[in-house]
Amino acid sequence: MTEVLTALSHQWESAVATTLEGLRDVTVTRRCADVSELLSVADAGLGDTAVVSSDLRGLDLAVVKRLRANRIRVIGVHPADDEGAERRLRQLTITATVAVDAGTDRWQQSLEDGAADVDDLEAALRDGAGRDGASPAEAAAAAAAAAAADEVSGWRPAGAVAPGRASDEPRDAGVLAVDGEVPGRGTAPRPGPERAPVVAVWGPTGAPGRTTVATTLAAEIAGRGVEVLLVDADTYGGCVAQTLGLLDEAPGIAAACRAADQGLLDLPALSRIAPEVVPGLRVLTGLPKAERWPEVRAAALERVLELSRELVRVVVVDCAFCLEDDEELSYDTVAPRRNEATLTSLAASDVVVAVGGADPVALQRFVRGLQELGTVPSGEPVPVVNRVRSGAVGSRPESRIADSLLRFAGLTSVRFVPDDAPGVDGALLAGRSLVEHAPDSPVRHAVADLATGLLPWTAPPGDRRDRRDRRGRRRRLGPGSRSSSAVGT
């Protein structure tokens, strides 16, 4: 027996409920007046199927996710011949949709299809197809999101450079050029993984250089002719827009999450919200004020990142430092959580570039931070120590730092990014990435090596091994040392 909860706008309420009541093996357990009633009934464990209308006030991605968390499948009702309403339901990851004037056969079929949806998903999870650490409900949302994204997967944005730079200086296609050419541009697309990898750039408190590494990495990849989206998901102090000299009037991530929540985010919309600011590099700017963090909710950000994988070939996310899960501190599992943007980005990532500073205080934080990182779902961590200089730790800083990280964190392979205040400060002042402003900076070279190590397929032909390997300077400190943390190869 299927136990149905309905939440429908009043114009259709009685007609749909009457049809449902007439179906075999179906009981309408509760006819809810609004979203709040629906959620409280679902939380109380009633019902196994929710029938909601596309115009239901307050219906968003978080509501759908919460219903699924209660193991309730969701069917959406839309006006007949209203493609917009049906699309909106699909963008809310509701793939089972029925027109309001559908007959009993169609309804019966949808209720059975809905059951099949959930069964398939559970089988996939049993077979290990679900992401590590993802709940069935999260996987359900992800599967449905993928299905929704498939609808528009044939679409690709035009390559026009969108406005948005604060700088008055005109940019041209050669702006990312090194030695006068744009590597990879105009050549055949590079082979790479089918699914665009998400690279989360994270690091502990103390400003170790997450944003510097994330922006340089994204610009480096774009400069190789591979489309990349840089997402500023730092809800404590996003500054990618300022770093790259962009106007931050449009809070990209808040707008994208709002659209995702309302079921209005598709590839064309995401491409408008995350414009290409230099050739190949799209940016989803961060929150202009940290106090707006509740606008970036997990379900919406998951959807944004999922769609981002369709929009570009690599997604780089600049994350905040804090990994605490407020859910453990509170019984209210529905309230926004301060760190959900960071935790969601890490969980969605294929690899985490974990950035630590190179002085004794920063290194201690890094060791603790890496331990903490090991306790949350995330991609494989790649430790990177930034701002390496002898003034902070003594002579031969790389060797000293590597030895301490081996001793205190058991790290057998660490990457180093040198300190280059003139280069990095100059780029900040100019509102340009290091790749544009100081292409010969040792920081840029170290991040280019990191890019090649993580994503070898982005490297220009004949340059697949990173400089560090070529020079034989890789810190191989023990038997567990890996030769590469390449993603998607």
Ligand X SMILES: Nc1ncnc2c1ncn2[C@@H]1O[C@H](COP(=O)(O)OP(=O)(O)OP(=O)(O)O)[C@@H](O)[C@H]1O
Interface contacts to Mg ion, rule CB under 5 A: 210-211
Work out how close the CB of 324 gets to Mg ion at its nearest, in angstroms, rounded to a whole number: 18
Q: Which of 136, 164, 192, 208 binds ligand X (CB under 6 A)?
A: 208
Single-letter code of the amino acid located at 323? L
Q: Rounded to whole angstroms, how far apart are CA atoms 372 and 381?
A: 12
Single-letter code of the amino acid located at 61? L
Q: Which CB, 107 or 366, lies closer to ligand X?
A: 366
Q: Among ligand X, Mg ion, none, what does residue 212 contact (CB within 5–8 Å per kind)?
A: ligand X
Q: Which residues pair with 97 in a beta bridge?
A: 76
Which of 382, 418, 412, 411 lies closest to 397 in space, CA to CA?
418
Name the strand (E) or helix (H) holding 76.
Answer: strand 73-78
Q: Which of 68, 88, 210, 258 binds ligand X (CB under 6 A)?
A: 210
Q: Which CB, 6 or 342, lies closer to Mg ion?
A: 342
Q: Which CB, 209 or 379, lies closer to ligand X?
A: 209
Q: Among ligand X, Mg ion, none, what does residue 428 contact (CB within 5–8 Å per kind)?
A: ligand X
Q: Any idea what DSSP says for residue 159? A: -
Instruction: Please give the residues from 407 up to 466 whose contact with ligand X meets the rule CB under 6 A.
Output: 417, 419-421, 424, 428, 443
Contact 4, 20 (CB under 8 A): yes
Kindly give, in sequence order, each residue whose CB lies less than 8 Å from that of residue 189, ignoring residues fewer than 6 positions away: none
Work out how close the CB of 354 gets to ligand X at its nearest, in angstroms, rounded to a whole number: 11
List of E strands, 176-292:
198-202, 228-233, 276-278, 281-284
Contact 84, 97 (CB under 8 A): no
Contact 255, 53 (CB under 8 A): no
Q: Is 203 in the site for ligand X (CB under 6 A)?
A: yes
Q: Among ligand X, Mg ion, none, what does residue 381 contact (CB within 5–8 Å per kind)?
A: none
Work out how close the CB of 316 gets to ligand X at its nearest, in angstroms, rounded to a whole number: 13
| Burial track 198-211 (b if 16+ CB lie within 10 A, e otherwise) | bbbbbbbebbbbbb
Q: Which CB, 147 or 166, lies closer to ligand X?
A: 166
Q: Among Mg ion, ligand X, none, what does residue 148 contact (CB within 5–8 Å per kind)?
A: none
Work out how close the CB of 235 gets to ligand X at its nearest, in angstroms, rounded to a whole number: 11
* Interface mask toward ligand X for 227-266; x: CB under 6 A: -------x--x-----------------------------
Token pair recorded at residue 149: 């994204």
Q: Which stretch binds ligand X (CB under 6 A): 12-20, 43-51, 203-211, 217-225?
A: 203-211
Taking residue 63's Cβ as centre, other Cβ atoms within 10 Å add up to 24
Q: Which stretch binds ligand X (CB under 6 A): 189-197, 208-216, 254-262, 454-462?
A: 208-216
* Interface mask toward ligand X for 22-61; x: CB under 6 A: ----------------------------------------
Q: Rounded to whole angstroms, how far apart are CA atoms 303 and 300?
A: 5
Q: Angle, nearest 10°, between helix axes 136-150 and 83-91? A: 140
- Give residues in contact with ligand X (CB under 6 A): 203, 207-212, 234, 237, 386-387, 417, 419-421, 424, 428, 443
